[in-house]
Amino acid sequence: MPENKYVRALFPGSFDPITNGHLDVIRRASVMFDEVIVAVGDSPKKEYLFTGQERLEMIHELVADMPEVKEVRFVGLTVECAQREKAQVILRGLRNLADVQYEFQLALTNRAIGGIETVFIMTGEKYGFTTSTLIREVGRYGGDVSGLVPPNVFERLKEKLSAEKGL
């Protein structure tokens, strides 16, 4: 690869909420790529705890000190977002063997329909079990998830779950 090649990576996800595992991947990727775009996906088929704008704001707060990281929202195919953002690679985090099977299928599909490669980063071992779904579920039942999400996210999560109980 030429020394002057600029490589932009797109890290897509729903980030509902963003976890310490996501942030770990973003930080590690930020030293590997010239630019990392955290792409917050909105799917009409999914029911989210946080709005797309709330998820984007939380991420913005977390990456404010990382000039090589920016955040965007998108609806539709990840490969289309990657093309719009002129990303050369899609970045995905892997936690376990189940992730490998699923992500392998996505990577092959993205390459076939969009001509874009996928780069995988293994999550840090202390985050291998963490998912946004698990965090939302444990939080709904009053479990302590403060060590699994950044402090600003934990505060918003407590507020959101408290308001949800008040319905």
Inter-CA distances, 124 with 72, 84, 94, 102, Å = 24, 30, 9, 19
CB atoms closer than 10 angstroms to residue 98: 9
Q: How far, in Å, CA of 39 to CA of 77, rounded? A: 11
Cα dihedral sign for 140, 146, 49, 110?
A: negative
Q: 117 forms bridges with which residues in the sheet? A: 89
Which sequence positions are flagged as catalytic?
A: 22, 46, 95, 132
Q: How far, in Å, CA of 157 to CA of 151, rounded? A: 10
